[in-house]
A and B are shown apart, each in its own frame.
Chain A
Amino acid sequence: MSIQVKNLTHIYSPGLPYESVALDDVSFNIEDGQFVGVIGHTGSGKSTMIQHLNGLLKPTEGSIIVDGIDLTGEGVSMIDIRKRVGLVFQYPEYQLFEETVAKDIAFGPKNLGLDEEEINRRVREAMDLVRLDYDKFAEKSPFDLSGGQKRRVAIAGVIAMKPEVLILDEPTAGLDPKAHRDVLEMIVDIHRREKNVTVFVSHNMNDVARLCDKVLVMNGGKCVLQGTPKEVFAEADMLRSMGLDLPDVTQMLYELKQKGVEMPDGVFDIDEAEKLILDYIRGGKSVD
């Protein structure tokens, strides 16, 4: 499964006074099995962009090719596409509605027209993937769960459709540090086990740097930068000019460099930074 986005432009309310260009000639490729990060500040076009990947929005211009199928082509079944490309919105727990956790997760597979046995199997499997014990949680009301647990149920609802591409829009927003770590670990685990393509929209540069194979940087509706985390975060000046943060470690090394301490660009890993700084301190002049 691969995705090619070519010259994608999206204009909201064309011809009206509120007309705004949300996406402006965006092109990128996602290869099979990749974990792709999308960064950019609010209003940069991230959400508009990901909604094109499963056909929720239609491009004004350009094409989106998912596994060889051009979504803008004639007679393309959007139902088939949405089966294969699952989208988890921000604060997905607001969309929980069923009486029990199991029923909520079963909603998607049921709409796929699967039989009872297959639906049950998928609910169990999805709950296992999001690390919710079936016996303990299946019959509970989703509204009695903690924030982190609710979010897992919502993600399980999408996983149960077995999408080949899983898109998550800020999946850890508003979670406490422990729930944040748990949900991320879970997403990485699902990526490994399902061998899906994962598209991860996030404001947290530490997470993006650590987890992603490839990073897309959105600004003003354009994809202004793409590459490995190392390549992208080496462009510190550019990212800062767009009002974006750097990973904590990269930020520190950037500030050191500003003060004349020679450090390489694009380093975000604390082990690597520890070694660089140790070498520097031991190699440098002593204070006294």
Chain B
Amino acid sequence: MSGETEKLIRIEGLIFSYHHEDGTVADTVIDNVSFDIEKGSFTAIIGKNGSGKSTLAKNINALLLPAGGAVYVKGYDTKDPEHIWDVRQTAGMVFQNPDNQIVSSIVEDDVAFGPENLGVDPAIIRQRVDNALEAVNMGKFRNKAPHMLSGGQKQRIAIAGVVAMKPECIIFDEPTAMLDPKGRREVMEIIKELHEEGITVILITHFMEEAAMADRVIIMDSGQVKLDGTPQEVFSHGKELKEMSLGVPMAVELAMRLRDDGIDVPADVIDTEKMVEFICQYR
């Protein structure tokens, strides 16, 4: 495989600003951001509200277009109108509020909506819908009305709708923000499974515990990338994260305190499971 095909998404010097109605620039939201996303990777993007993370996500599937710099998805420049559907089919998007993403009154019709619009053959649509619903564990709800489902179930239907379009990459923009803990666990489980099946995942989130599941974490603040590395590397910058009002998972906080107390806690102790393992060594 050449280096070019491995980098599914390339972001080069991206600048983006929103404008007032009179055309004057309101705010530079993305300020010269560059990074690549490798095919098959799982990247979490974290930042507080207004840090530019959602704007960045929308630039990746051409819902927004760069004011400066460029975004390439599978080699296609997102500014090239001829390839906008190639871009969107490569990088699908799941948003925060499941209620805003469901268009049909029957679950399987809703999942079929995307592939129908792509002009896929009906027999193949049938198969894709079945597979997509299986992938999110919602097969037995295929004939139900979406409004009768829980938040977590609705969000899984929205994910199935994107999966049925067979994207190589799915961008999840705070997919669990409006869900209860059970719905949150269900959705995170599905995201993990999709990644294991080879889909490139970009997860925008507020929750550090969710970011700990990724293999790469990017911290955005004031429109710029402040930290970029494995969860372990990023969480080792506890003080900077707190300064950006982000906080760290409890296990990371406890590890930092124990180190201050003179205990040699390994750097990979970033979640409760690892912390428990570490303490059990002293049993």
Contacts and interface: CB of A to CB of B under 8 A. Distances in A.
Interface of A: 41-42, 146-148, 173-174, 176-179, 181, 203, 243-245, 248-249, 251-252, 255-256, 259-261, 270, 273-274, 277-278, 280-281, 284-287
A177 B206 contact: yes
Nearest to B50: A146
A182 to B, nearest CB: 9
Given A42-B150, A146-B49, A278-B258, A203 B180 contact: yes
A274 B261 contact: yes
Nearest first, the 7 A-B pairs at minimum CB distance are A248-B250, A284-B282, A178-B245, A176-B49, A255-B276, A42-B180, A287-B281
A176 B96 CA distance: 13
B178 interface: yes
Nearest to B180: A42
Contacts of A245: 181
A281 B282 contact: yes
B243 to A, nearest CB: 11
B117 to A, nearest CB: 29
Interface residues of B, number: 34
B272 A251 contact: yes
A288 to B, nearest CB: 10
B48 interface: yes
A181 B206 CA distance: 13
B33 interface: no
B258 A274 contact: yes
A279 to B, nearest CB: 11
A177 B272 contact: no
Given A42-B150, A251-B272, A273 B280 contact: no
Nearest to B49: A176
A270 B253 contact: yes
Contact of B276 (A41, A259, A278): A259
A173 to B, nearest CB: 7
Interface in B251-267: 251, 253-254, 257-258, 261, 263
Contacts of A277: 254, 258, 279
Contacts of B283: 259-261, 284-285
B106 interface: no
A173 B49 contact: no
Contacts of A203: 180-181
B261 A178 contact: no
Nearest to A257: B276
A256 B261 contact: no
Contacts of A146: 49-50
Contacts of A176: 48-49, 206
B48 A280 contact: no
7 contacts: A177-B245, A178-B245, A249-B250, A252-B251, A256-B279, A277-B258, A278-B261
Contacts of A261: 279-280, 283
A252 B275 contact: yes
Contacts of B280: 256, 259, 261
A243 B152 CA distance: 15
B49 to A, nearest CB: 4
- Of B151, B251, B254, B276, chain A has the most CB atoms within 10 Å of the CB of B276
A280 B282 contact: yes
